[in-house]
Structure 1
Amino acid sequence: MSLARVQSFAISLDGFGTGEGQSADAHFGHAGDRLHEWMFETRWGREMLGRPGGGGGVDDAFSRMFAPGIGAEIMGAGKFGHPGWHEDPEWKGAWGSNPPFHTPVFVLTHHPRPPIELEGGTTFHFLDASPAEALETAREAAKGQDVRIGGGPTMIRDFLAAGLVDHMHTVVVPILLGRGVRLWDGLEGLEKDYVVEATSSPSGVTHVTFTRATA
């Protein structure tokens, strides 16, 4: 069976995966781009932005694991858009006409709408479903490839609590946000179910991977 994977999900030192005050102009609230500056400085990140340069090394190596083997993504309503996006029939996500996913994407929301097909192979589907139901649907669309559990932090937390995540790559960024949405709340003892490894980077971030332990 395909794996359910979290890839390159960045959190602050105090565990926040997004800041407070999300809006159409501030996708991560008061956090701004600070959680993802490490990625924008890699060669892979620059390639995604259509810019030359960028560094190699450990950050670039981890960044390049984002897409290979992924056949579908599941994301929460808060990642797809700012609060109230469902009231705007023209809202098509925060990534422009050619989003970086290039697969079917299933948005978990209490406000379903017809699918949105964009450039590059990305089609957004809108589901009002439990984590297990959404994963089953995404696996069918992934056609044997893995499913990326894309965030935000509330949705990833729900999938972890349900025992549905097989592999998770988090990036601990050396900033303190103080407010927003935390990833780890209610997940005490999670590490007992996984093999946990940490890799420090000269950029200051720490890559922490959780791989489901086998008997």
Structure 2
Amino acid sequence: MAKLRVHNLATSLDGYAAGPAQSLSEPLGIGGEALHDFFWKTRFGSSDPDAGETGLDNDVLEAGVDNIGAHIMGRNMFGPVRGPWPDKSWTGWWGDEPPYHHDVFVLTHHPRESVAMKGGTTFHFVTDGIEAALSQALTAANGKDVRVGGGVATVRAYLKAGLVDEMHVPVVPILLGGGERLLGDDATAGYRVDRFAASETVAHYWFVRR
């Protein structure tokens, strides 16, 4: 049965998956880019396929794309544009060929026509909630799993609804001091830590439903 999964949603030691004061120049908030330093050091994250480190961090990053047939993301992850779409110029942070290569469903309150990109990615804009987006994504995934890419508020919404089957969180040894907190409150009340593993860089936690 197809699952809804969250992968590689890195958090700081003080629990923030994005830093404070997010903006166009600081999409992950002040200091938030440091959450992903470990990613760029791996073979998976390197621009050179023959470079980068192998091992645990690389393995869990590779697992995050295995058997994924569609993505869901919040509008804040898609881009900095707020309110009604002023035009069709913004098509995401990822350039002409985003890394997804399948259908991506963007949660928004403002309708917009789907946007087809190079490499097989098509962004669809869903205005009727998280369950509608999940239903559409499962259909598009055609038996494969669906991944919630972020941002934090979107992942928390799916956690609160009890719709996430598996979640992987790398905890990075930095302190952000503020921003968007992932864990705690009622978002993770229905979940437990299933396993744990640590590399020299980060600590990896996997969550499943209780």
TM-score normalised to structure 1 length: 0.90
- Compare the two structures and name the one with the higher helix fraction: 1
Query: Residues 74-118 of structure 1, C-alpha deviation per residue, up to 9 Å, x if partnerless?
Result: 000111112538335311100111111111000001122111111
SS in 2 for 1:110: coil
Give the aligned partner of residue 173 of structure 1: 172
Question: Does the aligned pair in 2 maintain the 1:23–1:83 contact within 8 Å?
Answer: no
Is 1:108 matched with 2:107? yes
The gaps in structure 1 that reach 5 residues or longer are none
The separation in 2 between residues aligned to 1:106 and 1:83, in whole angstroms, is 16
Alignment of 1:86-165 (within 5 A): 86-165=85-164
Shift of 1:32: 4.2
Shift of 1:22: 2.1
Give the aligned partner of residue 51 of structure 2: 53
Question: Does the aligned pair in 2 maintain the 1:22–1:83 contact within 8 Å?
Answer: no
Query: Residues 26-65 of structure 1, C-alpha deviation per residue, up to 9 Å, x if partnerless?
Result: 221212420111011000100xx34651111100000101
Amino acid at match of 1:14: D
Shift of 1:133: 1.8
SS in 1 for 2:63: coil
Shift of 1:70: 0.5
Give the aligned partner of residue 8 of structure 2: 8
Is 1:67 matched with 2:27? no
The gaps in structure 2 that reach 5 residues or longer are none
Higher mean C-alpha displacement, 85-94 vs 1-10: 85-94
Shift of 1:68: 1.4
TM-score normalised to structure 2 length: 0.92
Give the aligned partner of residue 30 of structure 1: 30
The separation in 1 between residues aligned to 2:42 and 2:191, in whole angstroms, is 31
